[in-house]
Amino acid sequence: MKINRRLFLGGTAMALTAPWVNRAFAADDIMIASIYDLSGGLEIYGQPIDACLDLAVSELNDAGGLLGRKVKVQKYDPQSNIQLYTQFATEAATSLKASAVFGGITSASREAIRPLLGRYQTLYFYSPLYEGGVCDRNTFLTGSTPSQTIGQLMPFAVKNFGKKVYVLAADYNYGQISAKWVRDYTGKAGGEVIAAEFFPLDVTDFSAAIQKIQRDKPDVIYTLLVGGNHMSFFRQWAAAGMAGKIPIVSTSFGGGNEHIVLTPAESDGVMAAFGYFQEIKSPANDAFVKRYHQKFGDKAPYVTEHASATYNAVHHWANGVRKANSLDRMAVIEAIESGSTVAGPGGPSTIDPKTHHCATDVHIGRVKNHSFEILESFPNQPPADTAAVCNLAANPNDNQQYVIQ
């Protein structure tokens, strides 16, 4: 009995301290970390983001890297499990000592690692679109916020379809807060949210909700559904013969390839507002899409707004490093704050120094046979919602997420 215990203890202690992170990195490479779900329920969001990050980094290295050094990415796959997010963020900050961390898909995972990266003084970029309100000097957010997308989509929906809006949202902070913004902007546009239902991410049975919608007879349905399980709403909606009967608008549909996975009968006609669509006709986007398919082939995942914003985030970081001519966190932050614009595929993305968010173009698209046709575009929309409450120039130590009441 006793012998085996010493053997055991000795063994485990040794396995822990030995640095098994044996990446073959040259000593002088610049290390950045990427934490995106590449397996589990959120894989559909992670794959395109990961591809665009690689594309941006390879562009930097092809142009000679930064400060004369190559940029290397250490990738972590949290497997759609928030517990691994916190573990990997801690490792990236304390063991890898990355100069920047690009990570977090759901708002839940962002709020899990943002405080950690602040505590361990590691620069953080969050690129997916989200519910807005984060005010943190150590964090830059390159995705769109409600005022940019919902702010344009609601007037469009109320004008074209009617005043009575029925909201279906994912039951976590993204869904809850965005639903409040929908209520706010619907009111401003003269409409009214007649009902809002919230569904945890593992719900697959929407038959009751479909009956309730038919009972309340709204003019337009606003969906903020997220993840693989929620796609069954659109399947069951079509199966109930309701496809096309009541228009559906959303600021999350398409972010998870829903329009590709679902059949045209289930997804045609759904309208969405994003900072980027792969179908945008512009010289910058055409070149970007060509480079993207050159690098990853034609079967590469559809580029969502989350992915294009990640591409922008890497370049914003690069601008900061070049301007500051150093990797020091504060120097890079101040350099980015002094002004950084990236000619992104969806149009110019300009950092707003007071909120660390990006002013971007916003487009409304409608699904037609697995792809979006662009209906309207709104150039250079500012992150008005966050700007109303957050001013990092005035109080730089502000570190919280403001939530609309």
User: Scanning residues 107 to 126, which ones bind other proteins (CB under 8 A)?
Assistant: 107-108, 111-112, 115
Binding segment for other proteins (CB under 8 A), chosen from 13-21, 139-147, 334-342, 358-366, is 13-21
- The footprint of other proteins on residues 174-213 (CB under 8 A) is 175-176, 197-205, 207-209, 211-212
Of 84-92, 126-134, 358-366, 375-383, which part binds other proteins (CB under 8 A)?
84-92
3-state secondary structure of 335: helix
CB of 238 to other proteins, least distance (A): 7
Structure tokens at 174: 């993204």
Question: Which of 31, 194, 239, 289 is the binder for other proteins (CB under 8 A)?
Answer: 239
Tell me which of 127, 147, 148, 173 binds other proteins, using CB under 8 A.
173
DSSP for residue 372: E
> Per rule CB under 8 A, is residue 141 in the interface with other proteins?
no
| Rounded least distance, CB 388 to other proteins, Å | 19
* Of 160, 187, 190, 265, the one binding other proteins by CB under 8 A: 265
Outline where DSSP puts E strands in 205-292: 220-224, 248-250, 271-274
- Report d(CA 53, CA 316) in Å as an integer: 12
Backbone angles phi, psi at 314, to 5 degrees: -60, -45
Give which of 118, 117, 121, 182 is closest to 155, Cα–Cα: 182
Q: And the tokens for 218? A: 């709204």
The answer to the question of residue 65 lying near other proteins (CB under 8 A) is no
Q: How many residues bind other proteins (CB under 8 A)?
A: 80
Bridge partners (DSSP) listed for residue 347:
344
Could you say whether residue 397 binds other proteins (CB under 8 A)? no
Cα separation of 60 and 313, whole Å? Answer: 13
**Which lies closer to other proteins via its Cβ, residue 87 or residue 391?**
87
Q: How far is the CB of 71 from other proteins (least distance, A)?
A: 20
* Pick 338 or 400: Cβ nearer other proteins: 400
Q: Is 9 helix (H, G, I), strand (E, B) or coil?
A: helix
Query: What are 263-267's contacts with CB under 8 Å, separation 24+?
Result: 263/238, 264/368, 264/369, 264/370, 265/238, 266/234, 266/235, 266/237, 266/238, 267/234, 267/367, 267/370
Determine which residue in the list 156, 172, 378, 402 makes contact with other proteins, applying CB under 8 A. 172
- CA 295/CA 195 separation, integer angstroms: 45
Question: Is the Cβ of residue 135 or residue 342 nearer to other proteins in the bound state?
Answer: 135
**Close Cβ partners of 96 (under 8 Å, ≥ 6 residues apart):** 21, 31, 33, 74
Question: Which of 100, 246, 262, 271 touches other proteins (CB under 8 A)?
Answer: 262
Residue 361 interacts with other proteins (CB under 8 A)?
A: no
The region of 11-19, 305-313, 315-323, 348-356 touching other proteins under the rule CB under 8 A is 11-19
- For the segment 41-60, give every residue that binds other proteins (CB under 8 A): 41, 43-44
